[in-house]
Amino acid sequence: MNTRRVTLIIAIVLAVGTGILVLRYFQSINNTQTQAAVELKPVVLTNVDIPARGKITADMLTVAKRPATDVDPGVLGDPKQADGDVALISIPAGTVLTASNVGTPATVGLPTRLKPGERAVSIPVDRVKSVSGLIQPGDRVDVLATVNKGPGIPPKTFTIIRGAMVLAINSQLEQSAAAAAGSTPPPVDTTGAGTVTLGVTAAQADLLTVADINATLRLALRSPEEPVRSLPEERLVFADLGSPQNASAPAPLNVPPPLAPAPVPGLKSAPAAHGPLVTVIDGDKIISGP
């Protein structure tokens, strides 16, 4: 082979290889500049499936970084923004959390305020029974039941529930939209309260329903510094009206027995029977006697 031709081929190969290397170098510089120009933003992702109305905790969330151009408005960037909130819809694992699929307990409603085993029960009240309308959602109250013991017997009051949480006054909950936004919420107007909703156990819910039908209920406001179990609850006892009307009355004390009636003059008393009468038939005779 001609030496000049070999040299030419080698030169061409070296030139092509150098061109490829230079092109790759410029591409790498361009990619580096492009990546530096793209801003990355943190986003909050879910680790587990969260059901609708489920409470969101910090261990359910993780943080990842995405290009700012791929992040939609309203995406949460800090797990603290969702910690303690409630899922408004079912959120699968790996979903990016936004302000539209989470909310505060106040915006969701009453069920999220109840712990497992608790029940929400409403009772009718007026201005007096609700401590002159001074009770607010979030307060602790005792429930007093007054039972009428019968005619001539003074009524008796039993504290059947102690330290029940006031969940709502009428339809107003503890927090409002203003509180969720971070501002101070206005106080709940309880001057015209018609119902008070209490958070109680399942057994207390049954007791409260029975007491509402058969007794007069009243609320007593507790100090927030007093322990809930500082005093025991009292067993509700309904009216004891005594024996039925058809029952025999007890014999009076210190009363002598009644005297035998005096015999009437001219009237012979019948002989006392010494046993049952016996009838004997002897032929054509009939004999009766003791």
DSSP the chain: --HHHHHHHHHHHHHHHHHHHHHHHHHHHHHHHHHHHSPEEEEEEESS-B-TTPBP-GGGEEEEEEEGGGPPTTB---GGGTTT-EESS-B-TTPBPBTTSEE-HHHH-SGGGPPTTEEEEEEE--TTTTTTTT--TT-EEEEEEEE---TTS--EEEEEEEEEEEEEETTEES--HHHHTTSPPPPP--TT--EEEEEEEHHHHHHHHHHHHHSEEEEEE--TTS-TTSS-----------S-TTSPPPPPTT-PPPPPPPPPTT-PPPPPP-S--EEEEETTEEEEE-
Contact 169, 188 (CB under 8 A): yes
Say how many CA atoms lie within 13 Å of 153 toward its Cβ.
14
CATH 3.90.1210.10 residue ranges for the chain? 40-108
Q: Taking a C-beta distance cutoff of 8 angstroms, is the pair 58, 84 a contact?
A: no
pLDDT score recorded for residue 208: 93
Rounded Cα distance between 233 and 142, Å, is 9
Query: Which stretches of the chain drop beneath a pLDDT of 70?
Result: 1-2, 30-38, 105-112, 174-193, 239-290
Give the per-residue pLDDT at 247.
Answer: 38
Nearest-angstrom CA–CA distance, 167 and 3: 99
- Alpha-carbon distance of 196 to 134, in angstroms, equals 12
Q: Are 136 and 190 in contact (CB under 8 A)?
A: yes
Q: What's residue 1's pLDDT?
A: 55
Q: Does domain 40-108 have CATH number 3.20.20.105?
A: no
How many Å separate Cα 246 from the centre of its chain? 47
